[in-house]
């Protein structure tokens, strides 16, 4: 495995790439300063085609060519396979770390021995805080947010959905964005990794649910910072991703409300999500 030269790696960095460009190079460039003195190794799982940036990455990362688009969760599970160190750093190629950010999360972990996942404060390239810390979606808050979040940002359902999203302190949360996630290998293995029923979207939310059921906390670290240029890999093909997002939202809520007597709830959720998708597709085409 490719990495730094500081001995047995404490961290395996895993990044799933789909036709990456310079953002992958920028992410890899930011890693040494982010981890500080910790030994790490890097694995890039190639879910798409070869690009100059991907070929250049082979000199400092182990590149696994998946030969097909496995989806986000399955590709990450492949990338972590066989690692024996304590930490996994799951990160999108379009994330750039601020110096010391990963080292800071590991330091905070000493205060949370039963925490399985840690997330940094994620910023947009424009300097705004990205909402990477959220409450588990439930029938009222999740569906209300899905239907009204874009057209009425201050609605009570979206407000509730973001209830544990304070970004000025380190605290336990429901779930953290999979764009950048430090995970204890022990915890990741205990829950079987990412749920591979999800091709893309909501696998990070489901991981939070699985960790919670297994007794592992999830912790937001406010003074560890990363910058995320969200969606750079699929910005030119938004409609398939919009459809996948809504399908994954329904799949997730179907797992939450899986009892036979909850079938009417699942039907109502599906109708609401279909209405939202149709509205967003019309807006996209316009």
Q: What is the pLDDT of residue 131?
A: 81
Spatial separation of the C-alpha atoms in residues 241 and 201, rounded to whole Å = 9
Torsion angle of the four alpha carbons 248, 80, 23, 228, in this order, in degrees rounded to the nearest 10: 50
**Position 13 confidence tier, pLDDT thresholds 50, 70, 90:** very high
Residue 154 has pLDDT above 80, yes or no: no
Residue 273 has pLDDT above 90, yes or no: no
**Position 88 confidence tier, pLDDT thresholds 50, 70, 90:** very high
Q: What is the pLDDT of residue 234?
A: 57
Residue 232 has pLDDT above 60, yes or no: no
Q: What is the pLDDT of residue 184?
A: 98
Mean pLDDT of the chain: 88
Residue 151 has pLDDT above 80, yes or no: no
Overall average pLDDT of the 161-170 stretch: 72
pLDDT tens column, 89-148: 999 999 999 999 999 999 999 999 999 999 999 999 999 998 888 888 877 665 566 566
CB 231 within 8 A of CB 201: no
Higher pLDDT, 155 or 33: 33
pLDDT tens column, 258-272: 889 988 888 888 888
Residue 51 has pLDDT above 70, yes or no: yes
Q: What is the pLDDT of residue 236?
A: 62
CB 269 within 8 A of CB 143: yes
**Structure tokens of 6?**
């500081």
Q: What is the pLDDT of residue 155?
A: 61
Residue 5 has pLDDT above 60, yes or no: no
Q: What is the pLDDT of residue 266?
A: 83
Identify the CA nearest to 227 among candidates 91, 89, 108, 65.
91
Residue 168 has pLDDT above 70, yes or no: yes
**Position 248 confidence tier, pLDDT thresholds 50, 70, 90:** confident
SS3 127: coil
Q: What is the pLDDT of residue 149?
A: 61
Residue 172 has pLDDT above 90, yes or no: yes
Q: What is the pLDDT of residue 282?
A: 80
Overall average pLDDT of the 15-19 stretch: 95
Between the ranges 4-13, 151-160, 216-225, where is the mean pLDDT highest?
Answer: 216-225
Give how far Cα 27 sits from Cα of 17, 33, 96, 261, Å.
11, 11, 5, 47
Overall average pLDDT of the 199-206 stretch: 92
Overall average pLDDT of the 70-86 stretch: 96
CA angle 102, 125, 136 (to 5 degrees): 65
């Amino acid at each position: 495995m490719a990495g730094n030269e500081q001995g047995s790696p404490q961290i395996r960095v895993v990044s799933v790439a789909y036709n990456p460009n310079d953002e992958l190079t920028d992410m890899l460039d930011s890693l040494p300063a982010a981890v500080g003195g910790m030994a790490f190794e890097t694995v890039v799982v190639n879910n798409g085609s070869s690009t100059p940036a991907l070929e250049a990455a082979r000199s400092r990362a182990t590149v696994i060519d998946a030969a097909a688009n496995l989806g986000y969760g399955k590709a990450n599970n492949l990338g972590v396979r066989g690692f024996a160190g304590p930490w996994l750093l799951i990160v999108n190629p379009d994330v750039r770390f601020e110096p010391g950010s990963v080292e800071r999360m590991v330091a905070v972990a000493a205060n949370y021995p039963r925490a399985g996942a840690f997330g940094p404060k994620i910023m947009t390239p424009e300097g705004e805080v990205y909402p990477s810390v959220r409450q588990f979606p439930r029938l009222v808050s999740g569906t209300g947010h899905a239907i009204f979040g874009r057209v009425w940002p201050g609605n009570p359902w979206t407000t509730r959905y973001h209830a544990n999203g304070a970004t000025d302190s380190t605290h336990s949360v429901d779930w953290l964005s999979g764009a950048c996630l430090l995970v204890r290998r022990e915890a990741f293995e205990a829950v079987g990794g990412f749920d591979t029923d999800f091709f893309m979207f909501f696998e990070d939310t489901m991981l939070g649910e699985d960790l919670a059921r297994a007794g592992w906390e999830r912790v937001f670290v406010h003074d560890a910072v990363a910058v995320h240029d969200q969606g750079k890999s699929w910005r030119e093909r938004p409609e398939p991703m919009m459809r996948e997002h809504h399908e994954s939202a329904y799949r997730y809520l179907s797992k939450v409300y899986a009892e036979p007597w909850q079938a009417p709830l699942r039907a109502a959720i599906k109708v609401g999500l279909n209405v939202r998708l149709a509205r967003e597709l019309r807006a996209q085409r316009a």
